[in-house]
Amino acid sequence: MIELKSLSKHFGSTVVLENIDLHIEKGEIVVIIGPSGTGKSTLLRCINFLEQPTAGTLTVGDLTVDVNRASRANILAMRRRTAFVFQNYALFANKTALENIAERWLVVDRWPKEKAHRKAREILDRIGLADKADAYPASMSGGQQQRVGIGRAMATGAEVILFDEPTSSLDPEWVEEVLGLMKQLAKERQTMMVVTHEMSFARDVADRVIFIDGGRIVEQGPPSEIFHNPQDPRTKDFLKKILTTNPV
């Protein structure tokens, strides 16, 4: 369970997120859509403190933190309850696919190497890259790198995986394999928050679609409602634009 109460983020005098209230159930798949530069990525980054939120409280699982009073230990604990998938994959360039996935267990959980690698191989199997265990990121395709990125997030066993435009940097030919893996995770009811412009993914997979504009939640609901019966003019306007270039 994830709960955001009055979460705000200011960069200097610029308000990027304003009083975001959000409650997400365990196993829920939430897709966040909206125009560029409206705070979607910042929202995800605030949840695991890659950005320090300006105000509000944050609950992930059994941990609630007032962001202004978050200690170093709180921030670390919050990060260990969440996982992040980056737009540009951000794999550790000095580690193999297997090591990228095992890193969390080796370093944070201090498992013995043998156990960490065995479990990492299980993840490689699940993401369909068992044959790439010893490959370094530089030798993998974008699609393979992003699947390892997702595998690394899976290995954290986090309450929620935060996907920040996971397919936006990919060549079109690799998009499907990454979305396919995300759908597989959704089927296993892994709690997910996904920022994406892939409207078909939102329609087919999301339990809830949230439309954000100007740092606020404008409208939210099941995909059928948001896509077919949007209420707010800004939602209508955005969907009209994006669905002409990116049809569902």
Partner 1 sequence: MAVLDFDYMLGLIPILLGYLPLTLELAGIGMVLALILACLLAVVRVLAIPVINHFAIVFISFFRGTPLLVQLFLFYYGLPQLFSSLTVIGGVTATILGLTLHFSSYMAESIRAAIIGVDRSQTEAALSIGMTNGQLMRRIVLPQATRVALPTLMNYFIDIIKATSLAFTLGVTELMGATQKEAAGSFLYFEAFIVAAVIYWIVVELLSKLQHYLEARLNKAYSR
- Does position 50 bind partner 1 by CB under 8 A? yes
How far apart are the C-alpha atoms of 203 and 143, rounded to whole Å?
A: 22
- Does position 80 bind partner 1 by CB under 8 A? yes
Q: What share of the chain is helix, strand, coil (3-state, %, to 5)?
A: 45, 25, 30
- Does position 133 bind partner 1 by CB under 8 A? no
Sign of the torsion formed by the C-alpha atoms of 241, 247, 171 and 88: positive
Given candidates 28, 30, 42, 86, which one binds partner 1 under the rule CB under 8 A? Answer: 86
- Does position 79 bind partner 1 by CB under 8 A? yes
- Does position 108 bind partner 1 by CB under 8 A? yes
CB nearer partner 1, residue 78 or residue 202: 78
- Does position 200 bind partner 1 by CB under 8 A? no
- Does position 92 bind partner 1 by CB under 8 A? yes
- Does position 174 bind partner 1 by CB under 8 A? no
Whether 3 and 59 have beta carbons less than 8 Å apart is answered as yes
CB nearer partner 1, residue 76 or residue 243: 76
Q: Which residues pair with 164 in a beta bridge?
A: 195
- Strands of the chain, DSSP E: 2-11, 14-24, 29-33, 55-60, 63-66, 82-85, 160-164, 192-195, 208-213, 216-221
Q: CB of residue 74 vs partner 1: minimum separation in angstroms?
A: 13
Which residues would be at the binding site for partner 1 (CB under 8 A)? Answer: 48, 50, 76, 79-80, 82-84, 86, 88, 90-96, 103-104, 107-108, 136, 138-139, 149, 152-153, 155-156
